[in-house]
Amino acid sequence: MTRRTTVEVRAGGASYPVVVGAGARTELAARLAPSVRRVAVVTQPGIGVDVDPGREHEVFAVGQGEQAKSLATVEALCRAWSRWGLTRADQVVAVGGGLVTDVAGFAAAVYHRGVGVTHVPTTLLGMVDAAIGGKTGVNLPEGKNLVGAFWQPHAVLCDTDALATLPERERLSGLGEMAKYHFLTGDDLLALPLDERIAACVRIKAAVVAADEREDVANTRGRATLNYGHTLAHALETGGRYDLRHGEAVAVGLVYAAELAHHLGRIDRARVDDHRRVATGYGLRTTLPEGVDPADLLTLMARDKKAVDGLTFVLDGPDGVEVVPGVDPGAAAAVLDAMAGRG
């Protein structure tokens, strides 16, 4: 019998299972509530992962690329569901990477003011981050994930068989997000087999979500710490011309955050080197792309959704990773210049 690991995520006064292991998606029909009559399966062309919800179902495809992570896509899904007759007694199943689970999850959260959703992530990034924790959302031209909702899934099925055909860039993207977890707990995950590493990341995220489901802005050590490395990463992605996948950008963002923390006297050089060791251990880049514009990146970072009191970062420090508001823009620019070879 195939061995799978189940991690319970507690949020909103309830809990749901995250199943990790080969063939996990075969549990879909059993994981749906018996009362669910019809299932809207949301996926993308080319995902190549089929699911059987064991009920009447229809497949709804969304587009490729960040341009599909939009309010227009959410509207199109909701209208298609309405024409099909999806009700609040039915459920949505999202099959794909983070874009699919984010868009389908948000659409499920707002359709009929909320229908249930189960995620079947098919990428490493989705398994360790995007599909876990109930954050859903889409982009605006002004920035990533600026419109969304907290909507916890009924279950998440991380079928590691789906990773066998994952393109290399997508694998690296997942590893970039995985690298973040090394610094949230101090655990070194590099030596673990992949299935165990995924489950360990899920446990770390589950503990953070249980303590701070909706990202209380006053909680500097709460859910916002899951955005470690993301302030610069989102700016690089929003800039749109650097050819970086999300996790690749996060890896660069982790190193930048470590360099910034060092510049501010929060950590020593050895701790910065530890960030570089983990990132390079996963085969990830640690340098800024060619041709970055520090002024443009600073403007984009100031729009980050964590920024409630000036330029805000998640930074390492003597007591661990925490949210640090009011960072001096001059310091942030100086570190960008140094990493770009201009300092």
**Cα distances (Å, whole numbers) of residue 172 to 20, 81, 130, 132, 311:** 19, 34, 15, 19, 28
Contact 101, 121 (CB under 8 A): yes
Catalytic residue among 4, 69, 119, 135: 135
Q: Which of 4, 223, 275, 306 is catalytic?
A: 223
Surface-to-core class of residue 168, CB atoms within 10 Å of its CB (0-12 exposed, 13-18 middle, 19+ buried): exposed
CA 259-241-163 angle, to 5 degrees, is 80
**In residues, how long is the chain?**
343
Of these residues, 227, 262, 275, 306, which one is catalytic?
Answer: 227
Residue in 314, 145, 148, 321 with CA at minimum distance from that of residue 234 = 145
263 catalytic per annotation: no
The secondary structure of residue 340, as a DSSP letter, is T
Which position among 3, 113, 142, 168 bears the catalytic label? 113
10 Å Cβ neighbour count for 52?
12
Tracing tokens 């640690």 back to the chain, one arrives at 286
- 27, 177, 213, 237: which one is catalytic? 177
Instruction: Check if 234 is active-site.
Output: yes
Residue with tokens 């503990």: 207
Q: Choose, from 144, 205, 245, 305, the residue flagged as catalytic.
A: 205
The active-site residue out of 144, 180, 182, 234 is 234
* Active-site residue flag, 227: yes
Backbone angles phi, psi at 313, to 5 degrees: -130, 155
- Would you call 177 a catalytic residue per the annotation? yes
* Catalytic option among 27, 170, 213, 215: 215
Q: How many Å apart are CA 217 and CA 67, to the nearest integer?
A: 29
Strand partners, 148: 137
Q: Which helix (H) or strand (E) holds 158?
A: strand 155-159
246, 262, 275, 305: the active-site residue:
246
Q: Is 215 a catalytic residue?
A: yes
Catalytic positions: 113, 135, 177, 205, 215, 223, 227, 230, 234, 246
